[in-house]
Structure formats: structure tokens, C-alpha cells
Amino acid sequence: MPDEKLQKELSVLFNLPHKKAIEYFDKKVALGPKKHWDWTDTMRHAHDRVFVVAKATSIDLVKDIHASLLKAIKEGKPYQDFANDIIPTLKEKGWWGNIDAVNKDQKLVKPITVDHRRLRNIFNTNVKTAYAAGRYERMMEDADVAPYWRYVAVPKGAGNKNPRVEHAALHNLVFRYDDPFWQTHYAPNGWGCHCTVSRMTKRTLEKKFGKPANEVVRESKPEDFITKTEEIEREHIRLDGTVETQKVKVTTTGYKIGNTVVYPSQGWDYAPGSYSFDYDRMLERKIKELPLKEQEAMFDQLSSQVVNSFKNIVNVESVLNTPKGETFVAGMLPESVFENIKTAKDAKRKPLNIETRLLSIKDKRIIHALRSNHPAIPKDVLARLPENIRNWICTYTEREGLVFYSEPLKDDKSKRYKVAFAKDTPKDAYLTFKTGMLVDAKSLNRKTVIK
């Protein structure tokens, strides 16, 4: 029987039928140790598409855990029922107790303890993010009626014995649904976080706070976002006994409230469910509302998140090879280039009617560009597209669209990379990635550079 207490708690906490949480979790694709071993291997929006378990030793084991979690979410089962269901399988496959977790694909081994503490963390994290993602979709669908979102930090009590002081600083902050704040601070914001988000109409907002909406609702400015980069050392023990220490840099975006910067836990500065709900269009609309000078400032503040998320997206899409019609932000045009192609001041051609400086890319074009039998462009080059666009040489023609060229390659000066953007249809308000390829370095000589 479903655990009625848990169902009631989740219903109150998230205020939605759990159907959307089930759909969100059910569509995730399991990744095994070949693609995921450490928690930094898969981060942020990638979790909307894939299910991973750090130090899981086989893809079958990951699938078993996913199936047991899905059952628990569907039936409203508490942790103990989930544990009773999955532990016999974990023991049978040698993933319980103090073990040496062996990654045969990457030829690595790691001593770990798989116990109730680890298993409960897996359960809580996946159940909470599934419900948060379902909540996100429901709130986005209702954004025309209830456009204001309120951050709710759960106070200390039986359900939250150790509340985070920094999260309390966000309590009762209200932003519009499309404010960039939600791209980095939509709850939960860390391991064991109990914070939630509630949606409000203008009427309910003014009734709760006793003030006009414009005195309550905050609007994020570029300077509100502060990033920090931390270096993590992780030890890789190879099957031959040799040890390699790897240093990984993780950048986290915080939000400044007065003199305090509130940072989510590492890897948690994203909104569960937003990957699937095309959060990039929200970012685009928000940036389009700003003056051009402020657009770039806002993008700069969020660029580290965009860059890191895009790397994860490229890695995930290349593995899954199953396009679902998703569109992602691929970079931003410099202001001078944007104005040039809109006015056509450097060439005898028609002005290009676009409304945003943001560039996009569809998941199917990521997969096509990286197709295994004939890749158009290396994965590491495509994964750095938001960075590359800002540094590569730009040209524009009505036939090819907007084209970016890299400098000649270091190991082959006769070649350079080329990526092209154009409208999918004449009515589109933005440019989207069309193709990427390796070309003759001299091909740029025949082009008019856009500055």
C-alpha cells in the first residue's frame, strides 16, 4: 500500500499530483560506469535526461536502482520499503557493505562503503528532484496566471533538523518566474535541502505581504550574481595499483542578498526539470527585455553556468543519441556583430531581422554533428561553443548565414574549424546552429569579416 503519510507530506510540500514527478523520473536514461564514475562527471541539467549513481559498477546495477526508485515514486513508498526492495539485489551484485568498487570500463577501483546512509542519500535526492521537476513544469504551465514565485526555506523542526542558515536568507524572496534567479537557485539547492518554491498570483502576493506587488517582487541585476570556482582533488586508483590525482574545477553561481552571497551546493545551481522545459527560452526572453548593454552584462554573469551546462549537454546528448526536440543556448553575439548584421552596414545585402543576440542549438544537430561514423566537428570543440563564439572570427552572407571560424589549428596550420548559424524559418527571431566542420584555413580569406 502507498505510504499515506509520505504522500501527504509530498503533496503539501510540492502541491502537485505526483504524476509529473513519475513522468520526469521515468524518462531518464541510465548511464553506467563507462560514462559516469564521479559525481562531477554528470552535473546540473544533465540530470534531467540521465540517471546516474556514482561508483556503481555496472549499467545493469544502475538500471536496477532506477527501477526500484521509480517503483517507490509511483507507489509513494518510504525509504525503508525502497531499501528492502533494492538491498537484496545490491548484495547479489556485490554492491553492499565495505567494497572495492571496480570500474572495468575505465580500469579504476575505489574503496567505498555502501550502507543505509549512502542509499538514503540516493533515495532522498532522486525523490526530491523528481517532485521539484514536476513542480517546475506545473508552475511554468501556470505562469500566465501565477507569474510570481516565492522562495520558501523550511524552518527548523522534525522534518528539518539542520536548516541551512544561508538558505534562510532567501526565505520569502519573490521573483517573476522568468527571472534568472530561478536558473541558479530553484530549490532544492543542495544535498538534504528542504527548501521549496511556491507560485503566487498578484492578488495572493499582495494579500500575503500587505504591499503592492512592485514593492515586493525583486528583479535580478547582473551584479547580483557572484561566481566562485573551487578545485576538487579526486584520487583515481587504477587496476594495476598506480594512483593518479585529478584536479577538477567546479564553478558555482551565488546570489547576493545585502552583504551575503548565498551559494547552492556544488552542482546544485540549476533548476531540476528546466532542461526538459526549455529553460533557455526563458533566459532568452529575460535577456531580450534588457537594453543591449545590459544584455551582455547579464549573459556574462551567467556565462559560467551556460558554458558548464552546455558541456554537460553535449556529453549527454552524444551518449543518448535520442533527440527529443530540445533547444539550448549556444552563445551570445557581441553587440557590434549583432548591430552589423541587423543594419548590414559592412556589405551590400539585406538587413537580417533577428530580435535577440542569443544563439541556439537543437539536440538533433548536436547528435548529427557528433555522429560516430563521420563526425563533423570534435566533441571537445563543440562542447566549448559558447566560449568559441566569443573569440572566433565572424562572417555573414545571406547564403551561408552567420559563420564563425577558429584560428588555424596548432597541429595543422592549413585547417581551421567553422560553425554556421542561420534561421530555421524566415519568421524565426533568432539564429540556430546548422553545422560545424573542418575547412581549409584559406577559405576565410574570401570572406568579409564582421566586426
Mean pLDDT computed over 365-392: 86
pLDDT digits (tens, 9 = 90+) for 246-271: 899 998 999 999 889 999 999 999 88
Per-residue confidence band for 8, with pLDDT thresholds at 50, 70 and 90: very low
Q: How many angstroms separate the Cα of 421 from the Cα of each of 153, 309, 333, 383?
A: 43, 20, 11, 16
**How far lies 216's CA from each of 145, 187, 210, in Å?**
18, 20, 9
Q: pLDDT-based confidence at 280, cuts 50/70/90?
A: low
| The pLDDT of residue 14 | 43
Q: Using 50, 70 and 90 to split pLDDT, how confident is the model at 53?
A: very high
Q: What is the pLDDT at residue 160?
A: 55
**Which grid coordinates are listed for 23?**
513522468
- Nearest-angstrom CA–CA distance, 102 and 92: 15
Cβ-based neighbours of 181, under 8 Å, separated by 6 or more? 173, 175, 218, 220, 224, 255
Q: What is the pLDDT of residue 3?
A: 45
Of 138, 105, 103, 101, the closest CA to residue 118 belongs to 101
Residue 273 pLDDT more than 90? no
Average pLDDT over residues 166-183: 90
How far from chain centre, in Å, is Cα 1? Answer: 35
The tens digit of pLDDT for each residue in 341-363 reads: 877 655 556 777 887 788 888 88
Phi, psi of 110 (to 5 degrees): -145, 120
pLDDT of 157 reads 52
pLDDT of res. 15: 44
Residue 146 scores a pLDDT above 50: yes
pLDDT confidence band for 158 (50 / 70 / 90): very low
Q: With beta carbons less than 8 A apart as the criterion, state whether 46 and 315 touch.
A: yes
pLDDT of residue 302: 62
- What gap in Å lies between CA 280 and CA 356, rounded to an integer? 12
For the cut 50, the answer to whether the pLDDT of residue 1 exceeds it is no
Question: pLDDT: is 7 or 33 the higher one?
Answer: 33
* Phi, psi torsion values for 105, nearest 5 degrees: -65, -45
Give me the phi and psi of 150, to 5 degrees please.
Answer: -115, 130
Most confident stretch, 152-156, 395-399, 404-408, 447-451: 404-408
Task: Tell me the pLDDT band of 11, cut-offs 50, 70 and 90.
Answer: very low
Q: What is the mean pLDDT of the chain?
A: 84
Nearest alpha carbon to residue 430 among 389, 402, 390: 402
What pTM was estimated for this model as a whole? 0.73
Residue 417's pLDDT band (cuts 50, 70, 90): very high
For 160, the grid coordinates are 528539518
Is 205 a residue whose pLDDT tops 50? yes
pLDDT, residue 16, reads: 43
Q: Before 426, cis peptide (omega within 30)?
A: no
Q: CB 29: neighbour CB atoms within 10 A?
A: 16
Domain ranges of the chain: 4-218, 291-446
Predicted confidence at residue 344, as pLDDT, reads 65
Look at residue 294 and tell me whether its pLDDT is greater than 60.
yes
% of the chain surpassing 90 pLDDT: 42
pLDDT score of 364 more than 60: yes
> What would the pLDDT profile of 208-223 be if each residue is shown by its tens digit?
999 999 999 999 998 9
Strand order across the 401-405 sheet: 327-332, 358-362, 431-440, 415-422, 401-405, 393-397
**Cα separation of 284 and 241, whole Å?**
49
What would the pLDDT profile of 93-141 be if each residue is shown by its tens digit?
999 999 999 999 999 999 999 999 999 999 999 999 999 998 898 888 8
What pLDDT sits at residue 227? 92
Q: Which residues, including other chains, have CB under 8 Å from residue 116's CB and lie 6 or more apart?
A: 83
Whole-number Å distance between alpha carbons of 442 and 172: 58
Highest mean pLDDT among 290-304, 389-403, 408-422: 408-422
